[in-house]
Amino acid sequence: MNDAVGPVLRMCEEVEQVIRSIVEDNPDQEVDVLDSGAYVRVQARGFLRVTRASLRRNLGDGFEMRQLGAMLSAFAGRISTTSEEITWTLTAAPASDEGAP
């Protein structure tokens, strides 16, 4: 997939619920899930997010965003984290040299 962004999750008991949360939080995106045995790559074109609300809905009220960080072995794109959500976006394009000689 071109322009793919998203997490690479270590295989664990909660991985299916995390994937379900990501899919729920991105209803207008085609989310690909690539299972490689020891890890799962979850990706979409250009933008992907997961919210604390969906994680708690699928994993229980006690789930904290920092717990997802422990499951994250890598990611594609630029990551932004808050206490309420994690987003992955494409890396900003290099500045244009339009005025350069």
Bridge-based pairing state of the strands 72-76 and 78-81: unpaired
At 96, the pLDDT band (50, 70, 90 cuts) reads very low
Q: Which of 15, 48, 4 has its CA nearest to residue 29?
A: 48
User: Do strands 4-10 and 39-45 pair parallel, antiparallel, or not at all (unpaired)?
Assistant: antiparallel
Q: What is the pTM of this model?
A: 0.86
pLDDT at 2: 82
Q: CA–CA separation, 31 vs 5, rounded Å? A: 10
Under 8 Å CB-to-CB from 32, ≥6 apart: which residues? 1, 4, 41, 42, 43, 44
Domains of the chain: 4-88 (3.90.56.10)
Note the helical H segments in 36-89.
Answer: 52-59, 65-71
Looking at the chain, the whole-number percentage of residues with pLDDT higher than 70 is 90
Alpha helix (H) residue ranges in the chain: 15-25, 52-59, 65-71
Q: Is it the case that residue 10 has pLDDT exceeding 80?
A: yes
pLDDT tens for 73-95 read 999 999 999 999 999 999 765 55
Q: For residue 56, what pLDDT is reported?
A: 97
Kindly report the average pLDDT of the chain as a whole number.
Answer: 90
Q: Which of 51-55, 61-65, 79-83, 97-101 holds the top average pLDDT?
A: 51-55
